[in-house]
Structure 1
């Protein structure tokens, strides 16, 4: 009977065994505070590799006290993250908050480690205005790996964890205790090494923008608090009294190409004394290159709106409202204005109220790739026809065409020049710049300058073909420079106060036709005498008005480079 009972029970036993084996093992439960502290330690240590690398390189940490300060700084960063997370230490918010912090810290660590950038409000504006095509160029498998290891995997572990939550009142009390304790630890750490902390933050300002993920959240808050930095919806008029002097009998109206360069640094321009001949065509074209020019910012989102403003760098950064800019004043004076944009990122608001042609409409066979990116020469295609479509009454007074280059935009420098304009070999053919030898990186970048040289020379050739009808001229000014691995820095975008000169010193090149020189009184010889005078983007707005003879109260003659030559010629005459 026992054997019979066992035989009959075997199917049930096997069924229960199969059922038991199919069930997942119960997950262990843990207190939320444990995960909060683990996440804070992970973020403060691994998630801040760029911060610790920067601190380790400082001379202040070279002795015993410096090491103790570094340890205290690490404790302070951990306490800061604990303070932040304790505000979200609730059933429905803790996991999303930790996951967001982990992913934010992972992304920040990758870009700060790889390119040597910091995350400040200016960089955040640049990130928010980055288009999909620019973002794709920053994609790489090392970035994916960093995000997975530093952010996704720990976030996935957290998400699978089963947390044991107490009642609401008990949780509120725990959160308050944790917050106060973290504040106390932060104050104690800072107080013990206050002199070291204040000295480090004063002498090495970039450190404050390396603290993950607080740097990102702080920068976003600053940008949100000052929407004027990114919102051009409300724009005040500028130069409402702008007008042009009447053309002399028989004079031809000006036709001026204003080329807004991208990421070109002055010390890689052959005309400025660079060891490599990166500008052979311009050298033959009779241009004048100004060698001591400084940008308004270290990225396009900062520099372009600033250089088109009449305010100057310092006043522009502190502005309380947006105003119209250079293109608006030229149009208000009666000139025909056209903006051609070869960048997907656009004109950053400075061309919003003038006729413009975006990069999609510029596409032409032989000059554009399958992904829609075009070489800068595409802006010269059909230019006559585009100008002919502008109002005839304005064209009779003069035409100004702004051309926004793709130029030397990184990190994929190798995409910015065609095969026949790559004299410097071998070049870095990847967007993971740190994987290339420095010489290859320089080759790829210098090839972009060589192609810009060809583009500008081609623009001058086009202008020479218009001399029977117009008095042509061309001005080229880059928006900012670039770091090419010097001191482990790549690309651009560091805060202006700590950015290296290579990110701020830019080329300014002018070509004037004989007819333009004769009619305006602005001569190439006069400009050549100012080659080494210190100038900046602060001069751009006023000098362009002076170049075209626009009269308005917003013109500051002290900043009008071309007006100096016009006045000198008038006095000599």
Structure 2
């Protein structure tokens, strides 16, 4: 009889015990909160059903093993509440948009602002959090206090449960080793979809990396930065560098897209480069990389913080100004004059109502607000530096999703009907594309009006414009939306970005270039690796970090 009672106790464990709670939570999160993972594996043609069952067992065992180490009465409840609620949210984002939570995505989320966060809120998210998170949390919080147990027994039980979970994971992995290795190798996103283990690992890795980063100012680069001498009487350069957001090159009509997404630029003497690759697939990773002289491969291995392009240009003696209409410059403008569109200089006229403050925008401004009060902003800069030249960086909100419909004003929506929600997966794909393409028409008008403003500066400066997006975007191809996929497995939609140059005839730069040479760059394979050096060459700045072989214009100079 005592033996029977013990067996019954194993089959009906006390739900008030922390160890029981963590394993029930592991079962819930492993099987239910990972529904996007099971759905993804189910549709793969080369994945047998038996492997899916075994892989689910591995996820449950691994999750239970990790949580067993945290199964302490004063700790377990808080840990499980956080993980269960997070799992509900993760299941929504992974299942709805096909995104994954690696270290780059975690960094991007940590640097986002309230506007971008609000764009991600939806009834679908709330439902997922309630069903997969709040429901088990309510059950957990309604349990009675854990029964008293000697510390030695609790430590021994937790370690035994950990060992059992690890053993189960390894046994299942060995039984399905062939299918496991093949699936992980052929379908790499699968490894980033395990909830919540992968998110916890990525968050921990980012935290450790940030703590390991050296304190103090970034390492100096280009200490010898200087400007090349100009001919007497020549005008200083003015380069407007427009950093686009989430624009993909394949949707630009300048690059052959059948829809007219560039109606105004098509009538201007601009050059669109068609084979440009981004540094990364998310703003937080791409911006620091594209403003670095190292190039993507070397930048990924960089262990310390370094100065960037704007520091070198300022050290050379140029005036530098960063204007932002998004969530910030990710540290790139920290040591140069910078401002947001809604931070107007003293004496400037208020922003027009049509540009900012719509209720549906949550106070957001359309990108054209970047041009407002531009003359007053420039007048506030150091006049001695302005005499040497100016690099003006404008950081767009661009095509930032998922609420694409918010990124274009009412008079610039030629493609209808458009998706009017951030729940992209419930819209017909063509409606999503319509909303996205409308954002590109809005960018087209911004660039055209920027060129018009630059043309008015030619009495004082030698103007030019360079536009390049930070990364691309998935619009439902292969079930993927938005961006942020690990670079090694990212689809081309997220890495193929537009780059547009405007070099006006009659300017010093145009006069220094061989006739017709720029057109030869149209289909040349280039990347963000060229940005630092092309800008340096464009404005006549030099330093030991400048590499002429990465300057797109160097080969065209006479």
What's the TM-score bracket when you normalise by the shorter of the two chains? over 0.9
Of 447, 469, 473 in structure 2, the residue corresponding to residue 456 of structure 1 is 447
Please state if 1:395 is matched with 2:376. Answer: no
Deviation at 1:379, TM superposition (A): 1.2
Of 356, 370, 382 in structure 2, the residue corresponding to residue 368 of structure 1 is 356
Deviation at 1:202, TM superposition (A): 2.0
Equivalent position of 2:505 in the other structure: 514
Compared CA separation, residues 35 and 166, structure 1 to 2 (3 A): same
Deviation at 1:51, TM superposition (A): 1.3
Please state if 1:173 is matched with 2:156. Answer: yes
Q: 1:331-370, CA deviations, whole angstroms, 9 ceiling, x for partnerless residues? A: 1111111111111x10001111100112331571221024
Compared CA separation, residues 520 and 319, structure 1 to 2 (3 A): farther
Equivalent position of 2:7 in the other structure: none
Compared CA separation, residues 235 and 565, structure 1 to 2 (3 A): same
Q: Within 1, Cα distance between the matches of 2:534 and 2:542?
A: 12
Q: Within 2, Cα distance between the matches of 1:38 and 1:44?
A: 10
Please state if 1:297 is matched with 2:285. Answer: no
- SS of 1:93's equivalent in the other structure is helix
Contact 2:398 2:440 in 1 (8 A): yes
Deviation at 1:58, TM superposition (A): 2.3
- SS of 1:255's equivalent in the other structure is strand
Of 28, 33, 38 in structure 2, the residue corresponding to residue 52 of structure 1 is 38
Q: Within 2, Cα distance between the matches of 1:29 and 1:259?
A: 58
Superposition RMSD in Å? 1.7
Q: 1:52-91, CA deviations, whole angstroms, 9 ceiling, x for partnerless residues? A: 1122222331xxxx22222211111111011111011111
Deviation at 1:199, TM superposition (A): 2.1
Of 93, 96, 117 in structure 1, the residue corresponding to residue 75 of structure 2 is 93
Please state if 1:423 is matched with 2:414. Answer: yes
Equivalent position of 2:398 in the other structure: 407
Compared CA separation, residues 306 and 231, structure 1 to 2 (3 A): farther
Contact 1:417 1:448 in 2 (8 A): yes
- Aligned ranges 1:97-136 → 2 under 5 Å: 97-136=79-118
Bigger radius of gyration? 1
- Aligned ranges 1:266-285 → 2 under 5 Å: 266-285=249-268
Q: Within 1, Cα distance between the matches of 2:545 and 2:508?
A: 24
Q: How many residue pairs end up in the alignment?
A: 535
Q: Within 2, Cα distance between the matches of 1:464 and 1:216?
A: 49
Deviation at 1:512, TM superposition (A): 1.0
Deviation at 1:164, TM superposition (A): 3.0
Contact 1:32 1:165 in 2 (8 A): no
Of 132, 138, 141 in structure 2, the residue corresponding to residue 150 of structure 1 is 132
Of 54, 61, 85 in structure 2, the residue corresponding to residue 79 of structure 1 is 61
Deviation at 1:128, TM superposition (A): 0.7
- SS of 1:164's equivalent in the other structure is coil
- SS of 2:351's equivalent in the other structure is coil
Compared CA separation, residues 200 and 234, structure 1 to 2 (3 A): farther
Q: Larger % of helix: which?
A: 1
TM-score normalised to structure 1 length? 0.90
TM-score normalised to structure 2 length? 0.93
Please state if 1:556 is matched with 2:547. Answer: yes
Q: Within 2, Cα distance between the matches of 1:32 and 1:393?
A: 68
Q: 1:467-513, CA deviations, whole angstroms, 9 ceiling, x for partnerless residues? A: 12211100000000001111111110010111110100000000012
Compared CA separation, residues 537 and 208, structure 1 to 2 (3 A): same
Compared CA separation, residues 234 and 228, structure 1 to 2 (3 A): farther
Equivalent position of 2:119 in the other structure: 137
Contact 1:254 1:472 in 2 (8 A): yes
Contact 1:298 1:493 in 2 (8 A): yes
Q: Within 1, Cα distance between the matches of 2:523 and 2:178?
A: 42
Q: Within 1, Cα distance between the matches of 2:64 and 2:433?
A: 43
Equivalent position of 1:330 in the other structure: 313
Of 552, 565, 572 in structure 1, the residue corresponding to residue 556 of structure 2 is 565
Of 337, 340, 365 in structure 2, the residue corresponding to residue 358 of structure 1 is 340
Gaps of 5+ in 1: 1-27
- Aligned ranges 1:205-284 → 2 under 5 Å: 205-227=188-210, 234-284=217-267
Q: 1:508-534, CA deviations, whole angstroms, 9 ceiling, x for partnerless residues? A: 000012233556613683221110110
Gaps of 5+ in 2: 1-13, 345-349
Q: Within 2, Cα distance between the matches of 1:86 and 1:138?
A: 33
Q: Within 2, Cα distance between the matches of 1:82 and 1:349?
A: 39
Q: Within 2, Cα distance between the matches of 1:229 and 1:284?
A: 51
Deviation at 1:34, TM superposition (A): 3.1
Q: Within 2, Cα distance between the matches of 1:49 and 1:523?
A: 58
Contact 2:213 2:304 in 1 (8 A): no
Q: 1:234-263, CA deviations, whole angstroms, 9 ceiling, x for partnerless residues? A: 301111111111210221111111000011
Q: Within 2, Cα distance between the matches of 1:216 and 1:389?
A: 45
Deviation at 1:191, TM superposition (A): 1.3
Compared CA separation, residues 562 and 228, structure 1 to 2 (3 A): farther
Q: Within 2, Cα distance between the matches of 1:283 and 1:46?
A: 51
Deviation at 1:116, TM superposition (A): 0.4
Contact 2:505 2:511 in 1 (8 A): no
Compared CA separation, residues 447 and 260, structure 1 to 2 (3 A): same
Compared CA separation, residues 520 and 348, structure 1 to 2 (3 A): farther
Q: Within 1, Cα distance between the matches of 2:423 and 2:508?
A: 46
Please state if 1:41 is matched with 2:41. Answer: no
Q: Within 2, Cα distance between the matches of 1:191 and 1:327?
A: 53
